[in-house]
Amino acid sequence: MTTAREVAHIPDGVTKEAFLAALARFEAIVGAHNVLTGEERLTPYYKTMMPADDTDYATSAVLQPTSTEQVQAIVKVCNEFGVPVWPTSTGRNFGYGTYAQGNAKGHRHQVVIDFRHMNRILEVDAELGTALLEPGVTYQQLVDYLEANDIPLWVSCPAPSAIASPVGNTLDRGVGYTPYGEHFMMQCGMEVVLANGDVLRTAMGGVEGSNSWQVFKWGFGPYLDGIFTQSNFGIVTKMGLWLMPKPPAYKPFYIRFPDDEDITAIVDMMRPLRMANIIPNAVVFAHALWEAPAVIPRSKYYDGKGAMPKDAIERMKTEEGFGAWNVYAALYGTPEQVEVNWKIVTDAVKRLGKGEIFTEAELGGKEPFNYRAALMRGGMNLQEFGLYRWRGGGGSMWFAPVTVAKGSETLTQTKLATEILNKWGFDYCGEYIVGMRDMHHVIDLLFDKTDEEDTKNAHACMSELIEEFRKRGYAVYRTNNAFMDQVADCYGPVQRRINQTLKRALDPNGIIAPGKSGIGA
């Protein structure tokens, strides 16, 4: 019986009696074995990498539905008993919060919906290059499906990626490294369970008998898919994606630059090539301290407290062969197209007068080139987990401000970030990812969560990064649960009011992920 369950936490604002009654109803919907409670069964869902007490973000229960109909029934029970639910796809978004649910304004201990059992690949159209997926599908699962069925399509994935979800990553507006790397741009059609239990199929999905749900994004009237990304307005149970046709030729390459100041010239050289689609994928500029964790431990060159000294970084670069900046990109198309574009790229590097360029023929099999080459064709790997070994202690937060793709911006951002990180005793482990006209500046703030002082400093450092970058007109495009309110404030009161208006209209009882992206109940 549910009343005999061990219940360690009760959602804020819900009585124990109401919660136990809701659990009994959840059991009737998904089966008792798919309702998890008690410390022992919930321990895997408690762990976070944020600088916060994990118990503050601990879930009260986990539900594992197997169908859209079960999700509909779950939200109806939640409305009846006032129980908040926090949906997750696979819960592998480590630097942005993992399974942790919101802790905003009295909304602790929400019930997590874990979609691991809704992991069906519903359809892949090999001719049109489309897929329809449930949220529990992983990148590795999708790649394995394509390979097993000899379908010549590539999947764009983040890094590390194999255990993450294409649906979850796209809903958080994540990015990848192939020409299809702007993942939300390559999304087409959603099925969404609304807070009242209704099921919305966006765009062409609303037309009975339509065969164009995964090919035409817009439909008729307002475009709605976007409001269900980084929000708490509904629960996505199906999503369509566009997949990239496998090209006849693929040429990954690497350019090594020796000096920190080179970043300005590198960006200004690569931007025209990216905008003209000579280089069709996102170009990565990885700093030496981002490169190193993939292949070596930090202790090899520095084992002291605080940020890694400049002389140790320079020695590491020299002995390991890292550039200050390490550029990764690729060419795709027919052999003839690749040959023409390769000449354009190499001529641009020659005109710059700095930088050594290498191809797969010269570096194939060597790390970290090997894992970068795999990423740019949608290859699965966990190489980037090396970042978490760099300092040890299990603490990590992604700080990812966005700016324009101009070299002048990089010096400003890199200097500011390094000063703040070093002030609090942390390394600048960063990279720039250049899209068509924007740059995602991705920094992993790595700290020792087992050390109380380090954890306190990491929280203060993250808060200062957000605030100081905001003062200069920069804001992050994603963040972990502990900083969602602060980041939402960066975007101004009007955006917050509009989001709140939509929330109250679509979810008047505030039962879906209150606090997500700074949007309360």
pLDDT tens-digit profile of 86-99? 999 987 676 676 76
Looking at the chain, the whole-number percentage of residues with pLDDT higher than 90 is 83
H or E element that contains 488:
helix 484-490
**Of 103-112, 235-244, 359-368, which one has max mean pLDDT?**
235-244
Per-residue pLDDT tens over the stretch 160-185: 678 899 999 999 999 999 999 999 99
Which string of b and e fits 142-151 if b means at least 16 CB within 10 Å?
bbebbeeeeb
What do you get for the CA distance between the two ends of the chain, in Å?
31
How far apart are the C-alpha atoms of 335 and 428, rounded to whole Å? Answer: 39
Q: Which residues contact 476 (CB under 8 A, 6 or more apart)?
A: 399, 400, 401, 402, 466, 469, 487, 490
Over residues 50-64, the mean pLDDT reads 90
pLDDT score of 44 more than 90: no
Structure tokens at 514: 């209150």
Angle between helices 263-275 and 335-352 (to 10 degrees): 150
State the burial class of residue 297 (Cβ atoms within 10 Å of its Cβ: 0-12, 13-18, 19+): middle
Ranking 266-275, 378-387, 442-451 by mean pLDDT, the lowest is: 378-387
pLDDT score of 1 more than 50: no
pLDDT score of 408 more than 70: yes
How far apart are the C-alpha atoms of 284 and 389, rounded to whole Å? Answer: 22
Better-scored residue on pLDDT, 371 or 28: 28
Per-residue pLDDT tens over the stretch 189-212: 999 999 999 999 999 999 999 999
What is the 8-class DSSP label of residue 417?
H
How far apart are the C-alpha atoms of 61 and 44, rounded to whole Å? Answer: 12
Q: What's the pLDDT score for residue 4?
A: 63
pLDDT interval class at 123 (50, 70, 90): very high
- Residue ranges of the alpha helices (H) in 276-364? 288-291, 310-320, 335-352, 360-363
Q: What's the pLDDT score for residue 517?
A: 94
Helix and strand tally (H, E) in the chain? Answer: 16, 20
Looking at the chain, the whole-number percentage of residues with pLDDT higher than 70 is 96
What is the distance, to the nearest Å, from the Cα of residue 382 to the centroid of all Cα atoms in its chain?
A: 14
What is the 8-class DSSP label of residue 105?
T
How far apart are the C-alpha atoms of 228 and 135, rounded to whole Å? Answer: 14
Structure tokens at 432: 């720039």
The CA angle 466-113-28, to the nearest 5 degrees, is 160
Q: What's the pLDDT score for residue 96?
A: 74
H or E element that contains 25:
helix 16-30
CB–CB of 443/430 below 8 Å? yes
How far apart are the C-alpha atoms of 145 and 502, rounded to whole Å? Answer: 38
Residue among 355, 353, 373 at smallest CA distance from 363 = 373
Structure tokens at 464: 């200062």
CB–CB of 287/325 below 8 Å? yes
Amino acid at 316: M
Helix, strand, coil share (%) of the chain residues, nearest 5: 40, 20, 40
Ranking 24-38, 102-116, 149-163, 274-288 by mean pLDDT, the lowest is: 102-116
Q: What's the pLDDT score for residue 103?
A: 66
Match 């994004």 to its residue by tokens. 217
Residue among 250, 255, 287, 259 at smallest CA distance from 269 = 255
pLDDT score of 253 more than 70: yes
CB–CB of 66/33 below 8 Å? no
User: Catalytic amino acids?
Assistant: 96, 477-478
How far apart are the C-alpha atoms of 483 and 494, rounded to whole Å? Answer: 19
Q: What's the pLDDT score for residue 3?
A: 46
**pTM value?**
0.95
Is the Cα dihedral 365, 366, 369, 374 positive or negative?
positive
pLDDT interval class at 101 (50, 70, 90): low
Residue among 432, 416, 407 at smallest CA distance from 266 = 407
Ranking 102-116, 304-318, 414-428 by mean pLDDT, the lowest is: 102-116
Q: What's the pLDDT score for residue 381?
A: 72
Q: What's the pLDDT score for residue 399?
A: 96
Over residues 321-337, the mean pLDDT reads 97
Report the C-alpha dihedral over residues 246, 251, 256, 261, rounded to 10 degrees.
-60
Q: What's the pLDDT score for residue 430?
A: 95
Q: What's the pLDDT score for residue 94?
A: 66
Q: Which residues contact 173 (CB under 8 A, 6 or more apart)?
A: 183, 184, 229, 230, 477, 478
165 three-state secondary structure: coil
CB–CB of 90/116 below 8 Å? yes
